[in-house]
Amino acid sequence: KDTFEGHQVLRIVPKNDVQLSLIKELEKMIEFELDIWMGVTDAFSPVDIRVPSHTLHSFKSYLENFNINYSTMIENLQEMLDREQEEMDSAAR
Amino acid sequence: VGQPRNTDSFDYARYHPINEIYSFQDMLVAENPNMVSKLVIGQSYEGRPLNVLKFSTGGTNRPAIWIDTGIHSREWVTQASGIWFAKKIVKDYGSDPALTAILDNMDIFLEIVTNPDGYYFTHTSNRMWRKTRKPNPGSSCIGVDPNRNWDAGFGGPGASSSPCSETYRGPRAHSEPEVKAIVDFVKSHGNIKAFISIHSYSQMLLYPYGYTTTPVKDQAELHQLAQKAISDLTSLYGTRYKYGSIINTIYQASGGTIDWTYNQGVKYSYTFELRDTGLYGFLLPANQIIPTAQETWLALMAIMDHTHKNPY
């Protein structure tokens, strides 16, 4: 079973068209192994991206280099998945 | 142990594995033999049945409304909402005048698990799986995005040609059996008047097109109806939605489901993106299932009612 220990989901809100195009470029940058949960639409609309733990540091540095603000929507994805599974199991019982 | 004996004791406020959804469908058919039947419109790549519930009060090849949920397997709130809609239809027929009028004149088709292989995979191996499960020759990456696999601007911008991408369009239009089954069904039925494809999560109601900026010829009517549907949806819990054409509201996406259905002549073609609390993404807690389904139902009713009252 695939696990997602340490994966984070970051929420990025582009504040102008420059940031918008920088974030659009991210979708093509395979080295970060990003999983786009909610894609780029327009400035001020959130973009949610799952980032694996092993690229998290470099990805955050990339955002910070371009002064792109982000918040952490999900701190540790696996913890949430474990909670979801526990909830399903206990409801089934 | 723990298995519901009927659809009244089914737990609508939790997520269910695929075998429980199959059992739910069979129970609903058994309990409502005069209204609900199960059609198997094809098989998934891994051989699972593509079940469609047909809600009908009689007639032959009546004008019909299609609803599908779960084409992107990880969007669990959509399959869970589909289950709730199925029960809601049988519960409200005969007591809700609008739904009763619709079902007295039209059929409703509901495909709850549109991508069964993907859904099974999300429960057993990878909760984050979105695509189908067919291998791609020459690549180690599996699956196709079934919402980029339709013959509407197929291969254009807004879909990927790389099998490893989450938006991989597939080798050719309708290459995925899960997509082809719906294509064949819509064509052979020939009397589908509304087609609603349900996704999550960014709180939007969208109409065609996604592959071109050219507006559809019914844009004014579709926009007005979207406004009414969202106003009804918002009235329940205050959930705010955006609405508009796919390309203007989100981004360019080619090979999309409702672009194809619209081009086939299904005027009322819409796609939903359900509730987003801003905290969980695809992991929407199970206690959000019923509120999500309830508010979405109001919008669905607006679209179905308009379709019924505006025959074409």
Q: Provide the annotated active-site residues of B.
A: 273
| Mean predicted confidence (pLDDT) in A70-76 | 96
Does residue A60 register a pLDDT over 90? yes
| Tens digit of each residue's pLDDT (9 = 90 or more) over B246-290 | 999 999 999 999 999 999 999 999 999 999 988 999 999 999 999
Residues 6+ apart with CB under 8 A from B233: B205, B239, B241, B295, B296, B298, B299
- Could you give the percent of chain B with pLDDT greater than 70? 99
> How are the residues of chain A apportioned to helix, strand and coil, as percentages rounded to the nearest 5?
45, 20, 35
| Sequence-ordered alpha helix ranges (H) in B93-132 | 97-105, 116-124
Task: Tell which residue, A16, B210, B256, B200, has the closest CA to residue A24.
Answer: A16
Which tops the pLDDT comparison, A27 or B100?
B100
Does residue B39 register a pLDDT over 90? yes
How close, in Å, is residue A66 to chain B by CA atoms? 23
Does residue B142 register a pLDDT over 70? yes
Query: CB neighbours (10 Å) of residue B224?
Result: 11
| Mean predicted confidence (pLDDT) in B73-81 | 98
Q: Please give the pLDDT value at position B271.
A: 98
Three-state SS at A48: strand
Q: Please give the pLDDT value at position A29.
A: 86
- In which band, very low, low, confident or very high, does the pLDDT at A30 lie, cut at 50, 70 and 90? confident
| Sequence-ordered alpha helix ranges (H) in B125-278 | 177-189, 219-237, 246-249, 257-263
Does residue B1 register a pLDDT over 70? no
Assigned token pair, A35: 């999983």
- Whether A39 sits inside 8 A of B125 (CB atoms) is no
Does residue B195 register a pLDDT over 80? yes
| Tens digit of each residue's pLDDT (9 = 90 or more) over B232-248 | 999 999 999 999 999 99
First to last CA, chain B: 50
Q: Please give the pLDDT value at position B5.
A: 87
C-alpha dihedral sign at A58, A59, A63, A64: negative
Q: Please give the pLDDT value at position B227.
A: 98
Q: Which of B15, B76, B206, B245 to mutate against chain A (most A CBs within 10 Å)?
A: B15
Chain B contact set for A50 (CB, 8 A): 128
| Sequence-ordered alpha helix ranges (H) in B169-312 | 177-189, 219-237, 246-249, 257-263, 289-309
Which of A37, A50, A91 has the CB atom closest to B11's CB atom? A91
| Mean predicted confidence (pLDDT) in B136-145 | 97
Q: Please give the pLDDT value at position B103.
A: 98
Instruction: Determine phi and psi for B21, rounding to 5 degrees.
Output: -70, -40
Which of B3-12, B24-33, B250-259 is least confident?
B3-12
Which of B166, B249, B281 has the CB atom closest to A48's CB atom? B281
Q: Please give the pLDDT value at position B220.
A: 98
Which of A11, A46, A84 has the CB atom closest to B283's CB atom? A84
- Whether A1 sits inside 8 A of B125 (CB atoms) is yes
Chain A interface with B: residues with Cβ < 8 Å: 1-2, 4, 9, 11, 30, 35-41, 46, 48, 50, 73-74, 80-81, 84, 87-88, 91-93
- In which band, very low, low, confident or very high, does the pLDDT at A83 lie, cut at 50, 70 and 90? very high
| Mean predicted confidence (pLDDT) in B53-79 | 98
- Listed by number, the residues of chain B in 199-258 with a beta carbon closer than 8 Å to a beta carbon of chain A are 201-202, 249-251
Does residue B199 register a pLDDT over 80? yes
| Tens digit of each residue's pLDDT (9 = 90 or more) over B151-186 | 999 999 999 999 999 999 999 999 999 999 999 999
Three-state SS at A7: coil
Q: Please give the pLDDT value at position B29.
A: 98
Does residue B19 register a pLDDT over 80? yes
- Whether A2 sits inside 8 A of B278 (CB atoms) is no
- Whether A74 sits inside 8 A of B280 (CB atoms) is yes
Q: Please give the pLDDT value at position B2.
A: 62
Cα–Cα distances in angstroms (integers) from residue B65 to residues A23, A28, A79, B199, B262, in the given order:
38, 38, 40, 17, 13
- In which band, very low, low, confident or very high, does the pLDDT at A92 lie, cut at 50, 70 and 90? confident
Apex CA B167: angle with CA A2 and CA A82, to 5°? 25
Does residue B101 register a pLDDT over 90? yes
| Tens digit of each residue's pLDDT (9 = 90 or more) over B106-136 | 999 999 999 999 999 999 999 999 999 999 9
**Averaged confidence pLDDT in chain B:** 97
CB pairs under 8 A between A and B: 58
Q: Please give the pLDDT value at position B278.
A: 87
Residue found under tokens 């058994």: B30
Does residue B91 register a pLDDT over 90? yes
Q: Please give the pLDDT value at position B284.
A: 97
